[in-house]
Each structure stands twice: as C-alpha cells, then as structure tokens.
Amino acid sequence: MSEMLNLKLKIWRQDGPRSQGEFLDVDAHDIPVDASFLEMLDVVNERLIADDVEPITFGHDCREGICGTCGVMINGQAHGPEKATATCQLHMRKFNDGDEIVIEPWQAQAFPVLKDLMVDRRAFDRIVEAGGYISVPTGTPQDANATLIPKEVADTAMDAAACIGCGACVAACPNSAAQLFTSAKLGHLNVLPQGQSERWKRTEAMVETMEDFFGSCTNHGECHDACPKEISLDFIAFMNRDYVKAKIKNRSLASQ
C-alpha cells in the first residue's frame, strides 16, 4: 500500500456562470501519495456521493497531459506547483501531510465558469477558426518530401505545435491575455514553408480575434511559467513582429 496523506482542501463550488460561488471545505484523509491530483478529486467525489452530496464537476479526459481538458488553479498556480506538468500528471507525492490546498477554476472573462471547476474555453476555437490552418483541401498534394524542411525549422514548428490548448497561460496571466496560445499556433504555421501563402492574413485575423476575447499582453511571462508544454515566450515576440509586418503587407496587397 502507498503512503497516505491527510489534506485540508478548499474547493470552489459554483452552480453556473451567473451563480454565486463559494468554497467547500473538505477534510481529505488517507489520500495515497501515488494518486494523481485528479484521482485525489475522484476519491473526494466518491466520498461526497456516499454522503449524498453532488460530486465536484471538473474537466478531464485523457489523464496523460495531452488532451488539454483538465486544469485548475492549485494554491493560486495554474496546474499547480510542478513545472511543465498538467493537473492530471501532477501527483500527490508533491504535497505534504497536513497541507491546505485551495482549488479554483481558471479565472478569466473569456472563460466563464460552467460549473464548479469547469470553464468554457470556446474562445480558443474561435481564434483557430480565424486562420489557424493551412488551406489545403483533401486531395493529392505534392509528395511529402518535395519540399525540404530543415530539421531546425521542423523542430521549431513542433515546439510551438506542442500546445495542448488547456488555457493555463490565460489563467496565469494578470491580464487574462491569450498571447502564448495564439502565438504558438502562429509560430507553428508561420515558420513552415507550407504556411507562407496565408501568413500575413492569418496573423492579422488571429491576433484581432484574440483581442476580441482576451486582455492585452504586458510581458509578465507568467504564461510560460504555467505552461505544461513550456511554450517559449519567443513565439510571442515572433507573433508581434509578424503582426506589425502583416498590417503593412495586408494593406499594400489590398492596394495592388
């Protein structure tokens, strides 16, 4: 049997987007250190159900740190204390017996709380729909090896494309800005040769859609610290440069 922890939890409960929320105090005793953070919540939920209390609603699915569904504020930190780790991959061995843990949903105007710890992140989909793709209808494009892409370029694109869309960057940002998320998608597509034809149109459309929903970036860097995939702040700089260029290029293209 695993070693056990006794924890004092303060968990945010909220019925819906317009309801008043409040903290639920839970004495979580006998939590195995080998449990993941979400398995700890599973245990808490099973005990609540046994007492005829509705379980706490939280987003989760793959529990492998890749689907991006999960994510809560743990003692004020998005995804909790372990670096480069999504909530589902955080394990209770990172906590100590007797710890108090405050668990809250992501807090941002663009991410309204749906229930308890679950938020609505559809604004991210709107940003991608604005241009986060390369227009290549299914068919028979050129052979995959016809365009050589240096390893460094492919690696940079992959570094950016590793984003899981969890929203921790927004939750961690004092301005609730989505620059890291948006720049990761732009960084992925804008460095690749395939992404060049739509580069300027894509950049302008995605940045402006982002600004419809989210706050402005003031270079705190909290987003990077919270990111479970350690997406680099360089992509924000790259996006800003491309955005300025895009504003000029798109105008001159239009005048031709």
Partner 1 sequence: MVTLDAKIPDGSVAEKWDNHKFSVKLVNPANKRKFEVIVVGTGLAGASAAASLAELGYNVKVFTFHDSPRRAHSIAAQGGINAAKNYRNDGDSVHRLFYDTVKGGDYRSREANVHRLAQVSVNIIDQCAAQGVPFAREYGGLLANRSFGGAQVSRTFYARGQTGQQLLLGAYQALASQIAAGKVTLYNRSDVLDIVKKDGEACGIVTRDMLTGEVHGHSAHAVVLATGGYGNVYYLSTNAMASNVTAAWRAHRKGAMFANPCYSQIHPTCIPAADEFQSKLTLMSESLRNDGRIWVPRGDDDARGAAEIPEDERYYYLEEKYPSFGNLVPRDVASRNAKTVVDDGKGVGPLKNGVYLDFAAAIGRDGVEAVKERYGNLFDMYERITGEDPYSTPMRIYPATHYTMGGLWVDYNLMTTVPGLYALGEANFSEHGANRLGASALMQGLADGYYVLPYTIGDYLAPKLGDTPVPTDDPVFTESVQAIDDKSRQWTSNKGTHGVEHYHRELGKIVWEHCGMARNEAGLQTALKEIPALREDFRQNVKVLGSPDGINTMLEKVNRVDDFMEFAELKVRDALHRRESCGGHFREESQTPEGEALRDDENFAYVGAWEWKGSDAEPELHKEDLEFETVQLTQRSYK
Residue 27: what are its φ and ψ, rounded to 5°? Answer: -90, 105
| 20 to 39: interface string for partner 1, x by CB under 8 A | ------------x-xxx-xx
Dihedral angle at the C-alpha atoms of 206, 208, 213, 215, nearest 10 degrees?
Answer: 110
Tokens of 188: 């992925």
**148 binding partner 1? (CB under 8 A):** yes
Q: Decide: is 162 part of the binding site for partner 1 (CB under 8 A).
A: yes
Residue 100 contacts partner 1 per CB under 8 A? no
Pairing of strands 4-13, 100-104: parallel
Asked if 55 is part of the footprint of partner 1 (rule: CB under 8 A), the reply reads: yes
Q: Which stretch, 48-56, 101-109, 210-218, 219-227, contacts partner 1 (CB under 8 A)?
A: 48-56
Q: Does 52 bind partner 1 (CB under 8 A)?
A: yes
Q: Say if residues 189 and 200 touch (Cβ distance below 8 Å).
A: no
- When binding is defined by CB under 8 A, the residue of 10, 21, 67, 201 that contacts partner 1 is 67
Q: Which residues contact 253 (CB under 8 A, 6 or more apart)?
A: 200
Indicate the DSSP class of residue 140: -
Q: Are 169 and 112 in contact (CB under 8 A)?
A: no
User: Quick one: which segment of 100-108, 133-141, 210-218, 233-241 binds partner 1 (CB under 8 A)?
Assistant: 133-141
Q: How many residues touch partner 1 (CB under 8 A)?
A: 82
- Closest CB to partner 1 among residues 25, 51: 51
